[in-house]
A and B are shown apart, each in its own frame.
Chain A
């Protein structure tokens, strides 16, 4: 996945490198990986034949590997190679792969049935843990994915306000709900007034009319909210933008959005699919002054099983329920066959219990995250490569090869993405797994300082190689 910009102008002063050279090297790295991993190559060819894809996520991987098994911080591919996993299933596995409590919960549940029609007795306990971690929240409704949870949140906001407008930020990835698939990967127009661009083909005519696009971490967003305030049902924002390059929202930005929402009567939705239970035992709002009206979560709350949830006040969440005997048109429809299923509830409960009972785990995670960021920055500086590492807590983004420190996806347009892709590919050869740009990376409590240092060392080796090959300055 690489960023795009609609205009052809590229800011002067971007890191001077040869993209052609990087692409050539990429071809040879790919060939080498294929040669050394014949089973992987064969599996990839079979996948391409059938396009057997889990959504379109395969684009996250510059060179695909196929996983045989995983344990703790390590993942093993079908050719038997071991990797330090810096992806952790795109974030959910905060306790690492196969934490004993989760394995035990799932092993029991598998034998007691994976899915029922009437609710399971486990849904409630998971709901209690999640609601308990969100300041001011009283209730939630489960969905099957983060994408379904943002869909639910937007519907609740629209029903609560009677308005259709939705404001989101550039670079905000909120899953695959149609109204939110704008300016996810693409930058267009000026930061004072971004132009809407659909980042998904096949959206229905008219969907864009409801959307207001905001620059991220940029005070000019507030005026854009006010300008169309009377139409706005909600502003949805990630307290930590993930897919855009791992940028925490500044507290002043969130406070400004809160104030603008209050002024115009719109709800503020925190999309915490990534940040929920990742940065704190609950919502990122636990560490913030700002309180959202609705929160969406996914990933970590399912303990490694598919999950989504929309969390908020009783008044808001109860909109999902029609009055007894009421029809479908008297409720906000949220739900689906597998929503609240017992496998997810069992795994999620096992994982969140550990996190809630041991909040110091977050200190451990943050210390490791800091060690990683510091280590990578040191490598960049040692090698004299202009570049930056972003992130907070156990999440980091980069390295982004560029001259000035990025604070949003807009800034990353100036980064050398070809070199970034190459770094991810070359790291595979050294036993480190991370996604291609924008490199959204995660640590878990199963990682150790030694793992972190190995990842840093591997980066050093790869960047040296890229330097010697003329792909990095």
Chain B
């Protein structure tokens, strides 16, 4: 079966190369200076397409082929590509300059939009990426509590921050007390000693947290596991985390890098009715330009980031040349302003998401494919695993070869959809129907090739 999978992948790679000669040539050239042709090759095995331009819900590659895009820059583009309001805002900022040392007015505007919309956000600090946002949030929590350890759930993704980069896909140990397994080489053992891994959607996490009450600075959690497979937290799980963090005096960090401004104008926090002490944002908040945001309780952030004492060691450092840069701020203000002030966008996104989930379930059922559909709002996951997954452990039986082949077959058919699909306001019901039909074709092909287990 494994050999069969590899043969099919090789055939798919050849098909990609043959049908996209310019892309293949570019891949070869790019592979000389970038690891396997791009900084993020692992997402796009066996060979990435190379995008030339994008508009609305569509990408065009260097071979001139169009794709309906359900990846949207890993979820960042809630308004789709090159939305007129974002284009206008960026063009206006470009007239004024792209980057300055001192701040700009639009930084204040984006901060105020965030304060207005994100539950519990009194203060806002901008950084360059979701990774930098979680790094800063952890430091605030450690400084505020005087404790060092971080609780994170299995399957939780919080960027390249090594003090949480554990047990994302590498799972082991008792389900109630998972081991902390690093998800990167080149990280000091110091990091692992500071991580406590919690089971997701499992109330035994609360006891684990209580046990660690003297050393736990914070718990960081995505309300919907994103990279971990589009698995929503049970409301009771988030509520339980909120309660137990308050009980032991740990900081609850909601990592809404993916869900912020995607699941609603107030993010997942608004949807679940759970408020973090700190919230991290990224992706959508920057309107398609690099961004990370740390926001949260005023007392917490004031005391840690801007303490009365002037000594550098007393303050949480979260600097960076481009933090709060005016281009990102301009795109962010345009995007967040549009989303927060037009509730109809989210009604549209909900309909599309629900339509896609229902359509995919029907397609899977008709084909008889052993797969499950997860997700909420405009986030949709498809999993080739044995049971309807509710946490990362349910996904260990995932057939990754089938999933990868499916993604490539969709690409060959003109659709970009990784295991986790995103929708934008630029998508239509028709786009969703076409994606469902494409999934059905791809699934049937997998079936014919004997690549679908069971």
Contact with A along B276-294 (1 / 0, CB 8 A): 0000001100111111000
* Contact A50 to B115, CB < 8 A, known contacts A91-B321, A305-B98, A336-B130: yes
Distance A131 CA – B35 CA, assembled complex (angstroms): 13
The complex places the Cα of A72 from the Cα of B287 at a distance, in Å, of 27
Tell whether B99 is near chain A: CB-to-CB under 8 Å. yes
Kindly supply a per-residue 1/0 record for chain B positions 9-33, scoring 1 wherever the CB is within 8 Å of any chain A CB and 0 otherwise: 0000000000000000010011011
Cβ-defined contact, B312 with A199, below 8 A: yes
Most chain A CB within 10 A, of B39, B298, B320, B321, is at B321
Q: Mark A36-68, 1 if CB is under 8 A from B, else 0.
A: 000000010011001111111110110011111
A347 to B99, CA, bound (A): 12
Task: Kindly state the separation between the CA atoms of A131 and B327 in the bound complex, as whole angstroms.
Answer: 27
CB contacts (< 8 Å) of B95 on chain A: these are 69
Residue from B123, B159, B182, B325 within 8 A of A50 (CB atoms): B123
Instruction: Name which residue of chain B comes closest to A338, CB basis.
Output: B290
Contact of B97 among A70, A303, A343 (CB under 8 A): A70
Q: Which residues from chain A contact B316 at a C-beta distance below 8 Å? A: 56, 200-202
Scan A89-107; emit 1 where CB is below 8 A from any B CB, else 0: 1111100011000110011
Question: B404: nearest residue on chain A (CB-CB)?
Answer: A325
Contact of A328 among B129, B163, B168, B418 (CB under 8 A): B168
> Is residue A212 contacting chain B, with contact meaning CB distance below 8 A?
no
Query: B53: which A residues are within 8 A, CB to CB?
Result: 112-113
Task: Decide if A367 is an interface residue (CB 8 Å cutoff).
Answer: no
Cβ of B306 to closest chain A Cβ, rounded Å:
6
Q: Say yes or no: A144 contacts B77, CB within 8 Å.
A: no
Check A117–B71 contact: CB distance below 8 A.
Answer: yes
**Contact between chains at B163 and A110 (CB < 8 Å):** no
A115 in contact with B288 (CB, 8 Å) = yes
Residues of B within 8 A of A330 (CB): 185
CA distance A152 to B311 in the complex (A): 28
Please tell me which one of the listed residues B30, B32, B310, B314 contacts residue A2 in the complex, with CB atoms under 8 A apart: B310
User: CB < 8 Å: which of B132, B181, B288, B400 contacts A325?
Assistant: B400
Complex-state Cα separation, A43 to B302, whole angstroms: 19
B81 touches A113 (CB 8 A): yes
Interface size bracket, B side? 35 or more
Q: Which residue of A lies closest to B96 (CB)?
A: A69
The digit string for A177-212, where 1 denotes a CB below 8 A from any CB of B, is: 111010011100000000001111111111101100
B103 A111 Cβ-Cβ under 8 A:
no
Give chain B nearest CB distance to A387 CB in angstroms.
23
Q: How extensive is the interface on chain A, given as a class?
A: 35 or more
Interface string of B120-153 (1 = CB under 8 A from A): 0011111111111001101111111000100000
Of B105-113, B239-247, B355-363, the segment with at least 4 beta carbons within 8 Å of chain A is B105-113
Question: Bound state CA distance, A335 and B86, in angstroms?
Answer: 25
* A318/B132 contact (C-beta < 8 A), A200-B139, A333-B183 known: no
B102 touches A64 (CB 8 A): yes
Known A67-B100, A111-B87, A202-B141; contact A186-B312, beta-carbon cutoff 8 A? yes
Q: Is the CB of B131 within 8 A of A90?
A: no
Contacting residue for B181 out of A65, A106, A329, CB 8 A: A329
Instruction: Chain A residues near B233: list those with CB within 8 A.
Output: none
Chain B residues, Cβ within 8 Å of A66: 102-105
Q: Are B48 and A118 in contact (CB under 8 A)?
A: yes
Are B96 and A319 touching (Cβ within 8 A)?
no
- Inter-chain contact A110/B324, CB cutoff 8 Å: no
Among B188-196, B202-210, B383-391, the stretch that binds chain A is: B188-196
Interface residues of A (CB under 8 A from B): 1-2, 4, 43, 46-47, 50-58, 60-61, 64-71, 75, 77-78, 85, 87-93, 97-98, 102-103, 106-107, 110-121, 123-124, 127-128, 131, 138-148, 151-152, 154-160, 164, 175-179, 181, 184-186, 197-207, 209-210, 273, 298-299, 302-307, 317-322, 324-325, 327-344, 347, 433, 435
Q: Which 9 residue pairs of A and B lie closest in terms of their CB atoms, listed nearest first?
A: A54-B324, A52-B111, A202-B139, A113-B54, A155-B186, A159-B186, A117-B71, A202-B143, A119-B38
